[in-house]
Amino acid sequence: MKKTVLILAAAVFVFASVNAKEKKSKKDKNAPAPVCCMKVFTNNVDSMSYALGMNVGADFSKNLKAIPGGKSNIDLLIKGFATAMKGDSTLMTPEVATEYFRNYMTNAQKAETEAKKSEGEKFLATNSTAPGVIVTPSGLQYKVITPAEGPKPTAKDTVKVHYTGTLLDGKVFDSSVERGEPIEFPLGQVIPGWTEGVQLMSIGSKYKFFVPYNLGYGEQGTQGGPIPGFATLTFEVELLGIKTYQEPAPEPVAAPAAAPATKKAVKPAAKPVAKKK
């Protein structure tokens, strides 16, 4: 059932992509006319089947790169796929295949994680002895690129910065500099490496931070994003402004309402005592 859903989903994706491309080409009057309804084989079913396989294969090839280690045997993958599609006898039962794939992914992810963690630890150990690099008790490393004097922000303040964040391989994963627009945020609401590091800066200064994974995005990274788990990160940060946190004024306490005055009971006038005759 799952395989059927996967095939149908792939087909829907292909046809949706084709439909989107056709709409896009209609909007662009200068675009060349698409080649439509080309029959490569002797009948339409064969041509459609080949086209579907080609599109699904191209998309599947991109997804293979997400497998830990990025390695796979394409020939055996195609052989297993074709055998299962035809219903022929396979070298593994579906249960064994599922279990093997699950175990492989678990072990490969673990190995990849350990490699990433080890890479960061080795980098930080070497970098800690580099000229100008200072290591704080938490393990954060930084280097002053442009010094400046003046007040420094606290964790409660809002800061305005320009920054560029990179992975150890030099790949930029985020940059306000490239966007051409600085960013403001409360300093206590970002990763610990930033909260600690930016408090060392004064307006006009520029620092380079080397952030261990435990002061960054942790063991998980940004799931589905550009930062993997256990990633050591580097940031070049320029502090442009500080908005000092203001304690909210205490709300005035309303005075207790005065108790209503109690009315004194009025004693009835005493009746005159009749004189004895």
Of 122, 231, 89, 234, nearest to 174 by C-alpha is 234
Marked catalytic residue, from 163, 207, 209, 213? 163
Rg (CA), the chain: 35
50 is catalytic: no
Q: Name the active-site residue from 67, 81, 123, 173.
A: 173
Q: What share of the chain is helix, strand, coil (3-state, %, to 5)?
A: 40, 15, 45
For residues 163 and 145, give the distance between their C-alpha atoms in angstroms, rounded to a whole number. 13
| Catalytic option among 207, 213, 217, 230 | 217
User: Is the C-alpha dihedral spanning 164, 167, 168, 170 positive or negative?
Assistant: negative
Q: What are phi and psi of 156, to 5 degrees?
A: -85, -15
Are 233 and 227 in contact by the 8 Å Cβ rule? The answer is yes
Strand ranges inside the chain, DSSP E:
134-135, 141-146, 158-166, 172-175, 183-186, 206-211, 233-243
Catalytic residue flag (residue 191):
yes
Task: Characterize the bridge pairing of strands 206-211 and 183-186.
Answer: unpaired
The verdict on whether 235 is a catalytic residue reads yes
Query: Any catalytic annotation for residue 245?
Result: no
Tokens of 62: 């991109």
Residue 13 is among the residues annotated as catalytic for this protein: no
Told to judge if 134 belongs to the known catalytic residues of this protein, a careful annotator would answer: no
Q: Which long-range contacts (CB under 8 A, 24 or more apart) does 115-120 make?
A: 116/228, 116/229, 116/230, 116/231, 117/213, 117/230, 119/168, 119/232, 120/168, 120/212, 120/213, 120/230, 120/231, 120/232
Which candidate in 67, 191, 203, 245 is catalytic?
Answer: 191
The catalytic residues are: 163, 173-174, 191, 217, 235
